[in-house]
Protein backbone atom coordinates (compact mmCIF):
# COMPACT_ATOMS: atom_id res chain seq x y z
CA UNK A 1 0.00 0.00 0.00
CA UNK A 2 1.27 3.49 -0.86
CA UNK A 3 1.98 6.45 1.33
CA UNK A 4 -0.81 8.50 2.83
CA UNK A 5 -0.68 12.28 2.77
CA UNK A 6 -2.33 15.26 4.40
CA UNK A 7 -2.95 18.67 2.87
CA UNK A 8 -2.03 21.63 5.02
CA UNK A 9 -3.03 25.24 4.38
CA UNK A 10 -0.09 27.30 5.58
CA UNK A 11 0.70 31.00 6.02
CA UNK A 12 4.39 31.91 5.80
CA UNK A 13 5.38 35.46 6.69
CA UNK A 14 8.63 36.97 5.35
CA UNK A 15 10.67 39.26 7.58
CA UNK A 16 10.00 42.33 5.46
CA UNK A 17 8.59 43.86 2.31
CA UNK A 18 9.81 41.98 -0.78
CA UNK A 19 9.33 42.36 -4.53
CA UNK A 20 7.64 39.55 -6.45
CA UNK A 21 11.06 38.43 -7.73
CA UNK A 22 12.41 38.28 -4.18
CA UNK A 23 9.31 36.34 -3.10
CA UNK A 24 9.96 33.82 -5.90
CA UNK A 25 13.58 33.43 -4.74
CA UNK A 26 12.41 32.88 -1.16
CA UNK A 27 9.82 30.37 -2.36
CA UNK A 28 12.61 28.33 -4.00
CA UNK A 29 14.45 28.28 -0.65
CA UNK A 30 11.26 27.11 1.09
CA UNK A 31 10.87 24.29 -1.44
CA UNK A 32 14.45 23.16 -0.78
CA UNK A 33 13.89 23.25 2.99
CA UNK A 34 10.88 20.94 2.65
CA UNK A 35 12.55 18.31 0.44
CA UNK A 36 14.13 16.34 3.33
CA UNK A 37 10.63 16.02 4.86
CA UNK A 38 9.19 14.66 1.58
CA UNK A 39 6.82 17.64 1.63
CA UNK A 40 5.73 19.42 -1.55
CA UNK A 41 4.30 22.90 -2.15
CA UNK A 42 1.28 22.16 -4.35
CA UNK A 43 -0.03 25.74 -4.55
CA UNK A 44 1.62 29.00 -3.54
CA UNK A 45 0.14 32.50 -3.78
CA UNK A 46 1.38 35.85 -2.57
CA UNK A 47 -1.31 37.58 -0.50
CA UNK A 48 -1.11 41.22 0.59
CA UNK A 49 -1.03 41.85 4.34
CA UNK A 50 -0.47 45.60 4.81
CA UNK A 51 1.82 48.45 3.73
CA UNK A 52 3.36 46.45 0.87
CA UNK A 53 4.01 43.37 2.99
CA UNK A 54 2.96 40.08 1.38
CA UNK A 55 2.74 36.58 2.81
CA UNK A 56 2.89 33.17 1.22
CA UNK A 57 -0.40 31.28 1.27
CA UNK A 58 0.52 27.66 0.56
CA UNK A 59 -1.11 24.30 0.19
CA UNK A 60 1.40 21.67 1.27
CA UNK A 61 1.28 17.92 0.69
CA UNK A 62 2.82 16.29 3.77
CA UNK A 63 3.38 12.56 4.40
CA UNK A 64 0.94 11.42 7.08
CA UNK A 65 3.63 9.27 8.66
CA UNK A 66 5.91 12.28 9.33
CA UNK A 67 7.08 11.97 12.90
CA UNK A 68 6.00 14.96 14.99
CA UNK A 69 2.97 15.79 12.84
CA UNK A 70 3.16 19.19 11.18
CA UNK A 71 5.65 20.71 13.65
CA UNK A 72 8.77 19.63 11.67
CA UNK A 73 7.30 21.33 8.59
CA UNK A 74 6.69 24.60 10.45
CA UNK A 75 10.19 24.40 11.97
CA UNK A 76 11.79 23.80 8.54
CA UNK A 77 9.95 26.77 7.02
CA UNK A 78 10.87 29.08 9.92
CA UNK A 79 14.54 28.02 9.67
CA UNK A 80 14.80 29.55 6.18
CA UNK A 81 16.70 32.84 6.25
CA UNK A 82 14.23 35.68 5.62
CA UNK A 83 11.20 33.97 7.17
CA UNK A 84 9.64 35.45 10.29
CA UNK A 85 7.08 32.72 11.03
CA UNK A 86 5.09 29.87 9.55
CA UNK A 87 1.68 28.78 10.73
CA UNK A 88 -0.35 25.79 9.60
CA UNK A 89 -4.01 26.71 9.85
CA UNK A 90 -5.84 23.67 8.49
CA UNK A 91 -4.95 20.04 7.89
CA UNK A 92 -7.00 17.50 5.97
CA UNK A 93 -6.25 13.87 5.13
CA UNK A 94 -6.29 12.94 1.45
**What pLDDT digit, counting tens, does each position of 32-78 carry?**
999 999 999 999 999 999 999 999 999 999 999 999 989 999 999 99
Q: Is 6 helix (H, G, I), strand (E, B) or coil?
A: strand
Output the CA–CA distances (angstroms, integers) from residue 70 to 34, 52, 60, 63, 92, in the order listed: 12, 29, 10, 9, 12
Query: Which uninterrupted H or E stretch holds 93?
Result: strand 83-93
Domains defined for the chain, CATH in brackets: 5-93 (3.30.70.60)
Which pTM does this prediction carry? 0.91
Q: Contact, 27 vs 41, CB < 8 A?
A: yes
Q: Which tens digits make up the pLDDT trace of 1-22?
A: 568 999 999 999 999 999 999 9
Q: Where are the beta strands (DSSP E) in 15-66?
A: 40-50, 53-63
Strand order in the sheet with 40-50: 40-50, 53-63, 5-14, 83-93
Q: What is the pLDDT of residue 3?
A: 83
Amino acid sequence: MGKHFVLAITDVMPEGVLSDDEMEELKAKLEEALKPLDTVIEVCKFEPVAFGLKKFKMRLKIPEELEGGTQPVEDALEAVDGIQRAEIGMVSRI
